[in-house]
């Protein structure tokens, strides 16, 4: 009887232990289930956030695309106006200046064909009509643009402005504008082109004297100092383009069509570069 009673007690204790163990297992299962629910809730929240971010990105992309399309429409309209200006610029110096402004404003890629045709026409005209009578400025600009575009042009174009000794003659044509252009042209000299070496020394001396003069405006002094320090072909293109845009903005005689087109084109190029950087940095 005693043995049976002890057995009953042991069985009761075992049942109690089993029940407690089962309860603990149940709590663990419930706890694990709650943790999984929390994880699912976090995942769902992340999915919602990702969906929201994607939606916002799509909206921004759509706005960007719409803006780019509007820019392109404006650019095409302005390009047509500029093409008309190409035809209107009949004077040699005016056409050369127009081409120069287009290139300095970073627009050469938009008018490659027009620029080539204009330069071909100018070269053909020059072969039959020497342009020495156009003055030192026009000749220097003519020389620089053609040499930059790969034309075979001789330094002899400046011989009419030199003495028998080979030195440049200081005349009334030696104004700031002409000297600046002569300096830029001289930086395109090939080995052995002594006339251009003399042109650099001549223009540099005069420009330094002008820079040191007390009667010259501050902005002109800065422009001359910059040209003496760093010629056009050594500069960073788009940084220089931005500088030329700012110059035109402060000029009362600015061609408003060219200025507007330059700003639009600059913004589009900048946006393209920024997108490229984003792609590379991913």
Q: Furthest-apart CA pair in the chain: how many Å?
A: 146
Asked whether residue 139 is domain-assigned, the answer is yes
| pLDDT one-digit tens code per residue, 94-124 | 899 999 999 999 999 999 999 999 999 888 8
| pLDDT one-digit tens code per residue, 125-142 | 877 666 556 789 999 999
DSSP designation for 168: B
Asked whether residue 205 is domain-assigned, the answer is yes
Asked whether residue 24 is domain-assigned, the answer is no
Give the lowest-confidence range in 20-24, 74-78, 120-124. Answer: 20-24
**Structural domain boundaries, residue 173:** 80-281
CATH number at residue 163: 1.50.10.130
Count of domains for the chain: 1
Asked whether residue 15 is domain-assigned, the answer is no
Asked whether residue 71 is domain-assigned, the answer is no
Asked whether residue 196 is domain-assigned, the answer is yes
What mean pLDDT comes out for the span 82-100?
89
Asked whether residue 128 is domain-assigned, the answer is yes
> Using CA of residue 191, residue 193, residue 198, residue 203, what is the dihedral sign?
negative
Say if CB 225 and CB 211 are below 8 A apart.
Answer: yes
Asked whether residue 251 is domain-assigned, the answer is yes
């Amino acid at each position: 009887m005693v043995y049976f009673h002890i057995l009953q007690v042991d069985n009761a204790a075992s049942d109690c232990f089993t029940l407690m163990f089962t309860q603990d297992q149940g709590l663990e299962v419930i706890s694990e289930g709650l943790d999984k629910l929390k994880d699912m809730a976090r995942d769902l929240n992340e999915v919602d956030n990702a969906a929201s971010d994607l939606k916002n990105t799509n909206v921004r992309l759509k706005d960007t695309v719409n803006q780019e399309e509007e820019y392109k429409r404006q650019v095409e309209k302005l390009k047509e106006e500029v093409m008309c200006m190409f035809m209107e610029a009949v004077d040699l110096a005016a056409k050369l200046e127009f081409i120069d402004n287009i290139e300095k404003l970073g627009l050469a890629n938009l008018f490659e064909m027009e620029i080539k045709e204009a330069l071909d026409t100018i070269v053909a005209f020059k072969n039959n009509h020497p342009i020495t009578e156009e003055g030192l400025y026009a000749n220097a600009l003519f020389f620089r643009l053609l040499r930059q575009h790969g034309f075979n042009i001789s330094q002899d174009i400046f011989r009419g402005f030199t003495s028998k000794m080979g030195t440049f003659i200081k005349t009334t044509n030696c104004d700031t504008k002409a000297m600046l252009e002569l300096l830029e042209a001289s930086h395109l000299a090939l080995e052995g082109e002594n006339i251009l070496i003399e042109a650099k020394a001549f223009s540099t001396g005069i420009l330094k004297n002008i820079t040191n003069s007390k009667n010259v405006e501050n902005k002109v002094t800065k422009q001359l100092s910059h040209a003496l320090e760093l010629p056009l072909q050594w500069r960073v293109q788009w940084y220089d383009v931005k500088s030329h845009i700012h110059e035109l903005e402060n000029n009362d005689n600015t061609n408003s069509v060219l200025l507007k087109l330059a700003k639009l084109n600059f913004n589009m190029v900048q946006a393209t570069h920024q997108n490229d950087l984003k792609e590379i940095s991913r």
